[in-house]
C-alpha cells in the first residue's frame, strides 16, 4: 500500500475545497456537499466514545463519567440528560440488552431496560484488575455478534526503551511489556468477574489501538494504531523535527488472530513507504526488518494524527459510496510541535470487501479552529468518538467540551 | 456556484501551502541551528529543540500527557531546584505520584551547563512571571551535587 504524504493530504483536502465540495456547517465544521452537522449536545466536558441505541438515545463516556441523552421533542437537540453510573473512561457500546463500558482497569456492563434512559440496574463487572497504568491506559474494546470481547491493552511506553522517552536509551529486547500489554486480549464478554488471567492474547505488537472495531460485514476485527513519538529528540543523529512530525504512520490494520504488528521493534515509515527497524533496536532510519514478519498497514495515515475511533458505516441514509467504508476520528497531534499540529478531523476511507478502495477523504474538518500557539490545549474541539444512529446519521463526540454533533445527509 | 468568502480564503491558503510545499519549504521547517553563546534567542531555540514538543509553545503542556509549566512551581521557584529537576527528570520525583499525566520527563543531564542555563532562563522569563536568569555556574553547582551514577 502506497503511503500518503502530507502534501498529498493537503492537496486532497484543498482539491475538495476549491471544487466547492465543502461548505461551512454548524460550528464552522466543513463537510462534503449534501451533508450537514447539527449540535445535539452543547457539552458535558471531556467526552470520549459514544453509542446510539435503536430508539435514538445517546450514551457518552467521558472523564467525568457516563451520560445518557434523549431528544424528546424531535428538534435534534438532547433535552434530557442524565448522568449515571460510576465509570470514568473511554469506551461505551450497546450489545443486546446491555451497555458495556470501560475504564483504565476494567470492562463493565449495565442492563438496558426498555423505556429507561439511564440504566437503573446494578453495574456488573465483566473483566477487572488490569494493572493501573498512566500511559495508553484506556481499555477500549469491540464485541463480535457472539459476545466475544476484544480489549485493547495499550503499552505503557513509547517504544519500550530501558528508560521511557530518554534520549539514546536502547530498546528492551525482547520487550517484556508485550507479555501483558501492547496488543488485543480476548474474553467471553458474556461472563462476569473475569480477570486478565481469563483472557487470551489475540494479537500483539500494537502500541495503542484506541480505535478498535468489529466489522460485521467482513466478520473481522480492525484497528487503527497510534504510532510512536519523538524519533527526533530520542535519536537526533538519525532524525530531525520534520522527520518526527511526518514519518511514523498511524497504521490501519485488519487484526488477525496471532498477528504481530511490529511495535516496538519497527514502525511504518511514510517517507520511505516501508517498515523500518526502530532506532532503539538498531535502526539507522532505513534498515528494513526481517521480510514477512510484520504486515504492512492497509492504510498508512499521517504521523501523530491520533486515531481515536473507528466505525464501519452500515447505515442507510448516506450515499452508496459510504457503505461498508471506514470513518476514523483523528483526535489531533501534540508531538508534531514545533511543526504545525495536524489531525483534528474525521476521515472517510472507502472500503470494499475489507480492503481499501481508493484514497481516504477528509469528511469533517474545522474542529480545531485557529488553535493559537499551535497548542492542542487551544483547539476549539477535538473529535474523539463516532457512532451511527438508527436513521443512519453519524454522531461525533468531542473531548474539549463534550460537544456532540449529528451529521446527516439530505438528498439533493 | 458562488464561493463564500471563507471558502475563497481557504482556497487561497491551500494554493499558498501547496506552492510552499512545491518549493520545498514547509511551514515550520526549521531544524534549530546552534545559537550563538549568550544570544537572547538561544534559550528559545533550545527550548524549541528539547522541550517544546511536550510542553508546547505556550508552556501549557497537553492534558493528561505532559503537564503545563507555565506559572508552575518549578519555573517560579528556586533556580537550583529547577536545574536539579530538569537534570534528573521525573522518574523518581515526588510530584510524579500525584500526577495524572501519562508521560514522564526524561533527565536532561546530557545537556551542557550553558545550554541548560539558557533554557532555564528562558522558561523562567516566559512562563515564570519574569523570573531571574539562571547562570551556567548555578547549573554547574547543582550538577556537582548529583550522584555520579545518575
Please report, for chain A, the start and end positions of each structural domain, with discontinuous segments joined by +: 6-409
Which among B10, B57, B100 has the least Cβ separation from residue A374? B57
Burial (0-12, 13-18, 19+ Cβ within 10 Å), B56: buried
- Domain of B24 in residue numbering reads as 1-29
Of A135-149, A204-218, B7-21, B43-57, which range is least confident?
B7-21
Mean pLDDT, residues A351-364 = 97
> CA B71 to CA B67: how far, in whole Å?
11
Which among A134, A136, A166 has the least Cβ separation from residue B106? A166
- Does domain A6-409 bear CATH number 2.120.10.30? yes
Tell me how many domains chain B contains: 2
Which among A134, A241, A340 has the least Cβ separation from residue B27? A340
For residue B28, pLDDT over 60 is answered with no
Both B63 and B128 in one domain: the answer is yes
Most A CBs within 10 A among B33, B45, B53, B126, hence the mutation to make, goes to B53
> CA A106 to CA B57: how far, in whole Å?
36
For residue B60, pLDDT over 60 is answered with yes
Contact A338 B18 (CB under 8 A): no
Residue B48 lies in a domain: yes
For residue B112, pLDDT over 80 is answered with yes
Name residues whose C-beta falls within 8 Å of residue B130's C-beta, 6 or more positions apart in sequence: none
- The angle formed by the CA atoms of residues A308, A310 and A312, to the nearest 5 degrees, is 170
Please give, rounded to a whole number of angstroms, the shortest distance from the CA of B105 to a CA of chain A: 8
> CA B73 to CA A342: how far, in whole Å?
31
HSE-up of residue A112 (Cα within 13 Å, Cβ side): 22
* pLDDT band at residue B5 under the 50/70/90 scheme: very low
Phi, psi of A218 (to 5 degrees): -100, -5
How big is the A-B interface in CB pairs under 8 Å?
A: 117
Please give, rounded to a whole number of angstroms, the shortest distance from the CA of A12 to a CA of chain B: 10
List residues of chain B with CB under 8 Å from any CB of chain A: 1, 3-4, 6-7, 10-11, 14-15, 17-18, 21, 26-31, 48-50, 52-54, 56-58, 60-63, 65-66, 89, 91, 99-104, 106-107, 110
> CA A325 to CA A349: how far, in whole Å?
6
Place of cell 467504508: A325
pTM of the model: 0.87
> CA A354 to CA A324: how far, in whole Å?
8
CATH label of the domain that carries residue B126 = 1.10.760.10
Contact B106 A20 (CB under 8 A): no
Contact B89 A376 (CB under 8 A): no
The DSSP secondary-structure symbol of A248 reads: B
- Structure-model confidence comparison of residues B73 and A407, the more confident one: A407
Both B78 and B96 in one domain: the answer is yes
Both B25 and B95 in one domain: the answer is no
Please give, rounded to a whole number of angstroms, the shortest distance from the CA of A218 to a CA of chain B: 35
ipTM: 0.77
Both B21 and B73 in one domain: the answer is no
Both B2 and B62 in one domain: the answer is no
Burial (0-12, 13-18, 19+ Cβ within 10 Å), B18: middle
The DSSP secondary-structure symbol of A23 reads: E
Q: Smallest Cα–Cα separation from A249: which of A229, A232, A233, A277?
A: A229
Most A CBs within 10 A among B56, B60, B68, hence the mutation to make, goes to B56
The model's pLDDT over A136-183, given as tens digits with 9 standing for 90+, comes to 999 999 999 999 999 999 999 999 999 888 899 999 999 999 999 999
Name residues whose C-beta falls within 8 Å of residue A115's C-beta, 6 or more positions apart in sequence: none
Place of cell 490494520: A253
Amino acid at each position: 500500500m502506497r503511503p500518503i504524504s502530507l502534501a498529498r493530504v493537503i492537496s486532497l483536502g484543498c482539491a475538495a475545497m476549491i471544487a466547492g465540495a465543502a461548505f461551512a456547517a454548524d460550528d464552522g465544521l466543513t463537510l462534503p456537499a449534501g451533508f450537514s452537522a447539527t449540535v445535539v449536545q452543547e457539552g458535558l466536558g471531556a467526552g470520549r466514545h459514544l453509542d446510539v441505541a435503536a430508539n435514538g438515545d445517546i450514551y457518552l463516556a467521558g472523564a467525568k463519567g457516563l451520560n445518557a441523552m434523549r431528544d424528546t421533542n424531535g428538534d435534534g437537540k438532547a433535552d434530557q440528560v442524565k448522568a449515571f453510573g460510576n465509570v470514568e473512561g473511554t469506551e461505551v457500546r450497546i450489545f443486546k440488552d446491555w451497555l458495556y463500558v470501560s475504564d483504565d482497569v476494567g470492562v463493565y456492563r449495565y442492563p438496558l431496560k426498555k423505556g429507561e434512559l439511564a440504566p437503573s440496574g446494578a453495574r456488573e463487572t465483566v473483566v477487572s484488575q488490569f494493572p493501573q497504568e498512566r500511559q495508553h491506559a484506556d481499555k477500549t474494546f469491540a464485541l463480535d455478534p457472539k459476545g466475544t470481547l476484544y480489549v485493547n491493552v495499550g503499552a505503557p511506553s513509547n517504544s519500550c526503551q530501558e528508560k521511557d522517552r530518554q534520549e539514546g536509551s536502547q530498546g528492551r529486547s525482547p520487550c517484556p511489556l508485550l507479555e501483558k500489554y501492547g496488543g488485543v486480549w480476548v474474553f467471553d464478554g458474556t461472563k462476569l468477574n473475569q480477570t486478565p488471567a481469563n483472557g487470551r492474547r489475540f494479537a500483539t505488537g500494537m502500541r495503542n489501538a484506541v480505535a478498535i472495531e468489529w466489522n460485521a460485514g467482513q466478520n473481522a476485527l480492525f484497528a487503527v494504531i497510534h504510532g510512536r513519538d519523538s524519533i527526533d529528540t530520542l535519536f537526533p543523529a538519525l532524525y530531525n523535527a520534520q522527520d518526527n512530525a511526518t514519518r511514523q504512520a498511524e497504521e490501519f490494520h485488519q487484526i488477525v488472530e496471532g498477528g504481530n504488528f511490529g511495535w516496538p521493534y519497527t514502525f511504518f515509515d511514510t517517507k520511505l513507504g516501508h517498515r523500518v527497524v526502530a532506532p532503539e533496536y538498531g535502526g539507522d532510519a532505513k534498515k528494513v526488518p526481517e521480510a514477512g514478519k510484520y504486515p504492512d498497514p492497509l492504510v498508512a495515515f499521517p504521523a501523530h494524527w491520533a486515531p481515536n475511533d473507528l466505525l464501519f458505516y452500515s447505515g442507510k441514509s448516506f450515499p452508496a459510496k459510504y457503505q461498508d467504508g471506514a470513518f476514523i476520528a483523528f483526535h489531533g497531534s501534540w508531538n508534531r510541535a514545533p511543526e504545525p499540529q495536524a489531525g483534528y478531523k474525521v476521515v472517510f476511507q472507502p472500503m470494499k470487501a475489507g480492503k481499501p478502495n481508493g484514497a481516504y477523504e477528509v469528511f469533517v474538518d474545522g474542529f480545531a479552529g485557529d488553535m493559537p500557539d499551535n497548542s492542542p490545549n487551544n483547539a476549539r474541539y477535538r473529535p474523539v468518538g463516532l457512532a451511527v444512529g438508527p436513521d443512519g446519521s453519524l454522531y461525533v463526540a468531542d473531548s474539549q467540551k463534550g460537544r456532540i454533533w449529528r451529521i446527516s445527509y439530505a438528498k439533493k | 456556484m458562488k464561493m463564500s468568502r471563507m471558502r475563497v480564503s481557504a482556497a487561497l491558503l491551500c494554493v499558498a501551502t501547496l506552492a510552499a510545499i512545491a518549493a520545498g519549504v514547509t511551514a515550520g521547517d526549521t531544524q534549530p541551528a546552534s545559537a550563538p553563546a549568550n544570544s537572547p534567542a538561544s534559550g528559545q531555540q533550545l527550548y524549541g529543540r528539547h522541550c517544546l514538543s511536550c510542553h508546547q509553545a505556550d508552556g501549557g503542556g497537553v492534558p493528561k500527557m505532559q503537564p503545563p509549566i507555565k506559572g508552575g512551581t518549578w519555573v517560579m521557584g528556586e533556580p537550583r531546584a529547577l536545574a536539579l529537576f530538569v537534570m534528573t527528570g521525573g522518574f523518581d520525583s515526588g510530584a510524579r505520584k500525584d500526577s495524572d499525566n501519562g508521560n514522564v520527563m526524561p533527565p536532561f543531564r546530557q545537556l551542557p551547563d550553558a545550554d541548560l542555563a539558557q533554557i532555564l532562563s528562558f522558561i523562567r522569563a516566559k512562563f515564570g512571571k519574569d523570573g531571574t536568569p539562571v547562570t551556567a555556574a548555578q547549573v554547574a553547582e547543582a550538577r556537582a551535587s548529583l550522584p555520579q551514577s545518575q
